[in-house]
């Protein structure tokens, strides 16, 4: 049996995916519940530990009214915390691979290539993998929520939107609500991108799918419920007023946001620009609806952070996933035109993976005392 170059790449990617699975599970086992996790293990309004779903619902009602609107993420966090550390670690590894598989599907790349490609970028380009994927509160807010976000996005930005997904009219409503109620920069972005696809669909075909409208409305509702949570106002009132004027504050936010983009996402932005240049400038092939929407979503999710006084590195996780998805999709487009380039892209992905694994390995070595 002849073993082709593509089969070699697929087998190598499969092997490295197994290595990744082992490494991230070991990392999870060494990072305990900490910081906010300890607070969310309680009923929030008191130090009494949560023990049932009823306790979680009651604590999230208090949280919504007194602390913040991310009810979906923090409710899910409390459920995971109830499972205990070992079960949570296994679930975290599963969700990591699930998100990578969904990214591969959205990018329309075969799973034998796309799964490892997504994993490599998830760690190689992650500004703070510890706080966005391994700290349980961070994982619930970013890693877990991105699963719902990417599933919702897939329904709208796939090239074959005419192909009906089974039962979508019913499940798009709770999915849209969950995705819209994820976090403050991703929810509104989803509503804008889904609305854009609806408008473009109507412009071309003078018809709109019922499920698309229902999903867009539920996404909007989820975003509104999150942003207008009374707890957001309560927390804002506790923050001291800024000494700068409104215009100067706006300038400073634009400055820090631009600085953050270069500090946290320079490498992946550079890769994306190179791939776009090859597609449009060299090969003269269109980016396609999926990539246009992914790039639009990344810009909107980044731009929305101008409304926040802080832009922590972990908050770039969602934007990074969207850019990673676009990169994988563009790599596929280029390889379809120039098949010989698949080895070069395989090496690029392995190099990105090595960068991510270096820092994970270094962290493990520090914890084990191998290095100081």
In percent, the amount of the chain with pLDDT more than 70 equals 95
Given CA atoms 170, 174, 177, 182 in this order, what sign does their dihedral have? Answer: negative
User: pLDDT tens across 11-32, in order?
Assistant: 999 999 999 999 999 999 999 9
Tens-place pLDDT, residues 269-318: 999 999 999 999 899 999 999 999 999 999 999 988 877 767 788 999 99
Q: CA 217, 301, 286, 105 torsion: positive or negative?
A: negative
Model pLDDT for residues 156-180, shown as the tens digit of each residue = 998 777 777 888 999 999 999 999 9
Q: State the average pLDDT over residues 51-59.
A: 94
Supply the pLDDT for residue 237.
58
Radius of gyration of the chain (CA): 21
Alpha helices, H only, the chain: 5-30, 36-40, 53-66, 71-83, 85-106, 111-124, 129, 136-138, 145-157, 168-180, 186-205, 210-227, 230-238, 246-276, 289-303, 317-337, 342-368
On the question of pLDDT at 192 being above 80, the answer is yes
For the chain, percent of residues with pLDDT exceeding 90:
74
pLDDT for res 263: 86
- Are 212 and 194 spatial neighbours (Cβ–Cβ below 8 Å)? yes
Q: CA-to-CA distance for 290 and 107, rounded, in angstroms?
A: 8
Domain-by-domain residue ranges, the chain? 5-232+246-368
CB under 8 Å to 337, separation ≥6 — which residues? 283, 285
Q: CA torsion 176→178→184→187, rounded to 10°?
A: -10
Tokens found for residue 256: 């820090």
Q: Is 243 a residue whose pLDDT tops 60?
A: no
The pLDDT of residue 309: 66
Tokens of 23: 């490494």
pLDDT of 240 over the 50 cut:
no
For residue 1, pLDDT beyond 90: no
Q: Is the pLDDT of residue 142 over 80?
A: yes
Residue scoring higher pLDDT (195 or 232): 195
pLDDT above 50 for 64 = yes
Could you read off the pLDDT of 68-122 as tens digits, one per residue? 999 999 999 999 999 999 999 999 999 999 999 999 999 999 999 999 999 999 9
pLDDT at 205: 86
């Amino acid at each position: 049996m002849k073993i082709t170059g593509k089969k070699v790449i697929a087998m190598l990617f499969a092997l490295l995916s197994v290595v990744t699975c082992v490494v991230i599970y070991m990392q999870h086992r060494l990072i305990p519940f900490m910081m906010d996790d300890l607070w969310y293990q309680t009923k929030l309004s008191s130090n009494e530990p949560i023990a049932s779903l009823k306790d979680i619902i009651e604590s999230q009602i208090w949280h919504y009214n007194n602390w913040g609107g991310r009810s979906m993420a923090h409710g899910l966090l409390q459920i995971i915390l109830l499972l205990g550390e070992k079960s949570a670690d296994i679930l975290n590894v599963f969700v990591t691979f699930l998100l990578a598989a969904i990214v591969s599907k959205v990018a329309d790349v075969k799973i034998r290539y796309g799964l490892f490609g997504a994993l490599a970028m998830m760690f190689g380009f992650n500004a703070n993998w510890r706080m966005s994927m391994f700290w349980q509160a961070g994982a619930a807010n970013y890693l877990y929520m991105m699963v719902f976000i990417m599933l919702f996005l897939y329904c709208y930005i796939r090239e074959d939107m005419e192909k009906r997904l089974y039962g979508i009219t019913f499940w798009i409503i709770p999915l849209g609500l969950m995705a819209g109620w994820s976090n403050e920069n991703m929810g509104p972005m989803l509503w804008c991108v889904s609305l854009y696809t609806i408008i473009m669909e109507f412009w071309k075909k003078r018809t709109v799918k019922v499920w698309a409208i229902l999903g867009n409305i539920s996404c909007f509702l989820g975003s509104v419920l999150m942003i207008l949570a009374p707890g957001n106002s309560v927390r804002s009132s506790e923050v001291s007023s800024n000494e700068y004027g409104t215009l100067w504050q706006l300038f400073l936010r634009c400055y820090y946001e631009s600085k953050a983009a270069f500090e946290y996402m320079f490498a992946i932005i550079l890769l994306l620009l190179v791939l776009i240049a090859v597609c449009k400038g060299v090969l003269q092939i269109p980016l396609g609806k999926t990539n246009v929407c992914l790039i639009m979503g990344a810009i909107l999710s980044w731009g929305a952070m101008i409304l926040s006084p802080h832009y922590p590195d972990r908050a770039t996780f969602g934007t990074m996933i969207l850019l990673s998805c676009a990169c994988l999709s563009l790599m596929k487009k280029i390889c379809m035109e120039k098949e010989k380039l698949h080895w070069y892209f395989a090496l690029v992905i392995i190099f990105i993976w090595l960068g991510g694994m270096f820092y994970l390995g270094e962290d493990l070595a520090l914890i084990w005392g191998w290095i100081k």
